[in-house]
Amino acid sequence: MSSLTITSGNFEPEVLQSSIPVLIDFWAPWCGPCKMVGPIIDQIADEYAGKLKVVKVNVDDEGALAQRHGITSIPTLVLYKNAEAAAQKSGAAPKHEIEAFFKSYLN
């Protein structure tokens, strides 16, 4: 399973109406650190399937969503739980740091 691409059109049903926490990866194809984190995010999507929904927002394609979340640097991870942004982390990080960022929010 790979992560789902989020747009303004599917943000509400996929993120706000999700019954499990959602980890959003704000990224861009030209971003070097995003390319480093991307495979880790995909691995997390597979390992936490059913407990955590992992989605991606390309900031070049979805500038309004990035602006709405105050994204000023990428990669940035935003964790949604119960239809609200619960936490945010910017910058590339190793897998264990990314897991530590969201684990306390899992049901």
Instruction: Inform me whether the pLDDT recorded for 1 exceeds 70.
Output: no
Q: Give the number of other Cβ atoms within 10 Å of residue 32's Cβ.
A: 9
Q: Quick one: average pLDDT of 47-51? A: 95
The pLDDT of residue 3 is 75
Catalytic residue of the set 31, 52, 66, 74: 31
Query: Does residue 38 surpass a pLDDT of 90?
Result: yes
Q: What is the mean pLDDT of residues 65-85?
A: 96
- What confidence score (pLDDT) does residue 2 get? 62
The per-residue pLDDT for 59 is: 97
Which listed residue (6, 24, 34, 41) is catalytic? 34
34 is catalytic: yes
pLDDT averaged over every residue in the chain: 95
Say if domain 4-103 classifies as CATH 3.40.30.10. Answer: yes
Q: Domain spans of the chain?
A: 4-103
Mean pLDDT computed over 75-103: 96
8 A C-beta contact, residue 35 and residue 4: no
Task: Provide mean pLDDT across the span 61-73.
Answer: 95
The answer to whether 55 is a known catalytic residue is no
**Residue 8 confidence (pLDDT):** 94
**Is the pLDDT score of 18 beyond 70?**
yes
Q: Higher model confidence: residue 66 or residue 1?
A: 66
Q: Which tokens is 87 given?
A: 């936490």
